[in-house]
Structure 1
Amino acid sequence: MSRYEKQDGRDAGTTSTDWASVAAAVPRGGFLPEGMWPFDMETRRSVYANRADDPAAWQRYADADVPIVTQWDDGKHEGTKPGRVGTSSVSMPSVVFRMLGDLQLDAGSRVLEIGTGSGWTAALMAHRVGDRNVTSIEVDEAVADEARRALARHGRAVEVITGDGCAGHPRGAPYDRVIATVGVRTLPWAWVEQARPGGVIAAPWGTHYSHQDAIARLTVSRDGRQAAGPFTGPVEFMKLRGRRLPFEGHAPYAAGMAEGSTSSSSVTETEFRRGRFGAPEFAVGLRVPDIVRRAGEKRNGGLPVWFYSLSDRSVACAMFRGGQETKVWQAGPRRLWDEVEAAYRWWGGRGEPDHTRFGLTVTADATRAWLDDPAESWLL
């Protein structure tokens, strides 16, 4: 069993025995830049680490089971302070090896990777299946070039393509496996088309409701007309560039807010908010289409949570106060809180299922979600 040190010293992350020898042969530190922004678990924020300034601290982060940002703001960021939006990173080792376990790679499997990043995941897979069997796509030319250099330093002849990962790489198809290291809200059909019948796609998938993703492990049908399978657990990835959230913020909704109405709800903050990777949040996103949730700052014991429609200018706000009754305000043709509360009650009425009881079926013209049984699905 290979271990990655938890930065806070608690509950060290592990890689499965199946990948332990690969983890030892392809250390993450060899694919990290001199200057980087690991996520510090104690302070819950990104911090700057530079190998030249403090090589011991840099190595501790490299060996820790934490995500590390390597680029901010699509490369426009300057300085050592964190930027506005992380746009390239190296994922937590525990998450990387969980996804690789979902792929079930065999020697000789041909793999398409969407999102090269540092090149570390491509190198891990190449160690297992052979360099010539891994093709990786990276949209950012500077990131792709650095990944090529890192792979070359480690003697790996992986093909790195600079381009839009949504299109895949048809010249190398069909692939036995497709893995995405970026979060998606719509699974590109090209990935299914370029996978062989029986092939497996592993991708962080989620809805616009939140930043949360879950790993969808989809198997391509024998006739190639769909890919379907369960979610294997919650994660959070940077989103696929070019498919980011089409949300303009609060201002466009302001004009219609004067016509709102007030009500109350018995759903409390304690019930509704169950942590960053809570199953109710994922379930609500699956059940309520075209909606964005944003939490405000907690003041005077009250926490405002806003809901915005992406299909019109409907808006709602739920003011949570611990275990007290929740005050609700809604405006627009959609009663967004009513939709959210109904979805939350639906989830509770079905035994509060976790992520792994949900699944996804993708065809060329539709995506459907389901709970337990693919035959009882609903359109997303």
Structure 2
Amino acid sequence: MTINAHQERPGRTELARVLMSRGVLSADWAPSFAAVPRSFFLPDLMWPFDMETGRSLSVSRLDDADAWFRYADADVPVVTQWDDGQHSGAGPGQVSTSSASMPSVVFRMLRDLDVQPGNRVLEIGTGTGWNAALLAYRLGAENVVTVEVDEAVATEARTALHHFELPVRVIYGDGLRGYPKGGPYDRIIATCGFRSIPFAWVEQSRPGAVIVAPWGTHYSNGDAVARLVVPEDGASATGAFTGPVEFMKARTQRLLPVVHSEYVTDSVADREKSSTPITEGEFMGERFSPQRFALGLRLRHCVHVVAEKRDGARPVWFYGLGDRSWACVVFRDGQAEAQVWQSGPRRLWDEVTATLDWWRAAGKPGYERFGLTVTAEGTQRVWLDDPSDSWEV
């Protein structure tokens, strides 16, 4: 294989140094990182996320190879497909639907997977094929199976893996069904976000198998990495979350955008009005603040939308997914209290404040104190500290 142009670049050396200094790239994965460059699996036209501007940029290897390799070797996510493949043109599309994840996220999840020699691994979400190649380099291509729901993406990844001389079996199909013909598996890893983890994965796992998957609720687009272990009886899988991430969602589990007009059918001012001493900072926190995750775990069947701040005011909307309940809180700079409006059988803002009180009383737990249990009955149960004290989401 001719890959020197992809390997011998200062950017890769610097990326390795940064990942190792942060404890993300462990010594056992360093040889795979060195041998399998992400750039080999990226298309000539790609859309990396620029951290400074907060936007996806269009970068062509044919037009600017230096910039292309600079982003390929950077710790940034790179979109490789928009709008389920319906997008055309050089600019970004509307919805990103396939990508190469940030290297720091990739190796953090591989660390959580804790593969051992001889392990058989099922990957859900092939994408570019880079993650499968890293696994195959370490375990052997014969021990890795990867499933991709998009036929064009699967074909491109299969071709890249073949050219890299790591001929992983790439299956075009629905990853929610797993791939029983290749099982049983010692490890399963997903590279897209889920709102419900299929029990089929548990059924295709050996006792003691580890499942690593981004999981979250419809409350927000954020996820957390669930690290589940399958017990001897195979009746469930349970484990703690290891930290926050944000992934593109599995296509069959995407939430359609809320239609605001179907909830708010008349003037907001005509609805129940109150105020709250909760500040914008207390509610919002940082992007991956644990209270946001806790809110999603406790506010069942609810989605929230944070609007852009204008003239010092930031509205936040809450919509009930099981009925037409809604709430709106408007935070204003310089004001001690925010205005709240609520409507419908649920008082969603009251649920928000009750959850924040619960989170504070529990000692403001971070992601690692929460966990997830998946059962044969198809339920997803979350817990704080103790799996025996769980609730359904």
TM-score by length of 2: 0.93
Q: Which residue of 1 aligns with 2:383?
A: 370
Q: Which residue of 1 aligns with 2:298?
A: 287
The question of whether the paired residues in 2 share the 8 Å contact of 1:6 and 1:66 is answered with: no
Q: Please, which runs of 5 or more residues in structure 2 have no aligned partner?
A: 1-11
- Please tell me whether residue 54 in structure 1 is matched to residue 67 in structure 2: no
Superposed CA offset, 1:244-263 (max 9, x none): 11443212112376662011
The question of whether the paired residues in 2 share the 8 Å contact of 1:347 and 1:353 is answered with: yes
- Please tell me whether residue 338 in structure 1 is matched to residue 350 in structure 2: yes
Deviation at 1:223, TM superposition (A): 0.2
The question of whether the paired residues in 1 share the 8 Å contact of 2:24 and 2:108 is answered with: no
> How far apart are the structure 2 equivalents of 1:249 and 1:145?
36
Aligned partner of residue 148 in structure 1, secondary structure: helix
Q: Which residue of 1 aligns with 2:110?
A: 100
Aligned partner of residue 91 in structure 2, secondary structure: coil
Q: Which residue of 1 aligns with 2:361?
A: 349
Partner letter of residue 372 of structure 1?
D
Show the 5 A alignment for 1:200-215. Answer: 200-215=210-225
Superposed CA offset, 1:259-302 (max 9, x none): 62011111110111112111110000001100001011212211
1:171 to 173, 181, 194: 181
> How far apart are the structure 2 equivalents of 1:341 and 1:37?
39
Distance of aligned partners of 1:106 and 1:6 in 2 relative to their CA distance in 1, 3 Å threshold: closer
The question of whether the paired residues in 2 share the 8 Å contact of 1:35 and 1:50 is answered with: yes
The question of whether the paired residues in 1 share the 8 Å contact of 2:144 and 2:168 is answered with: yes
Superposed CA offset, 1:200-242 (max 9, x none): 0000000000000000000011100000000000000000011
Show the 5 A alignment for 1:1-380. Answer: 3-4=14-15, 15-255=25-265, 260-322=271-333, 324-365=336-377, 366-380=379-393
Distance of aligned partners of 1:357 and 1:28 in 2 relative to their CA distance in 1, 3 Å threshold: same
The question of whether the paired residues in 2 share the 8 Å contact of 1:136 and 1:160 is answered with: yes
Deviation at 1:12, TM superposition (A): 7.7
Distance of aligned partners of 1:13 and 1:5 in 2 relative to their CA distance in 1, 3 Å threshold: farther
> How far apart are the structure 2 equivalents of 1:61 and 1:264?
46
> How far apart are the structure 2 equivalents of 1:273 and 1:253?
23
> How far apart are the structure 2 equivalents of 1:15 and 1:175?
24
Aligned partner of residue 18 in structure 1, secondary structure: coil
Aligned partner of residue 15 in structure 1, secondary structure: coil
Q: CA RMSD in A?
A: 1.8
The question of whether the paired residues in 2 share the 8 Å contact of 1:206 and 1:212 is answered with: yes
Q: Please, which runs of 5 or more residues in structure 1 have no aligned partner?
A: none
Partner letter of residue 184 of structure 2?
P
Aligned partner of residue 276 in structure 1, secondary structure: coil
Aligned partner of residue 101 in structure 1, secondary structure: helix
Deviation at 1:189, TM superposition (A): 1.0
Aligned partner of residue 117 in structure 2, secondary structure: coil
> How far apart are the structure 2 equivalents of 1:12 and 1:36?
27
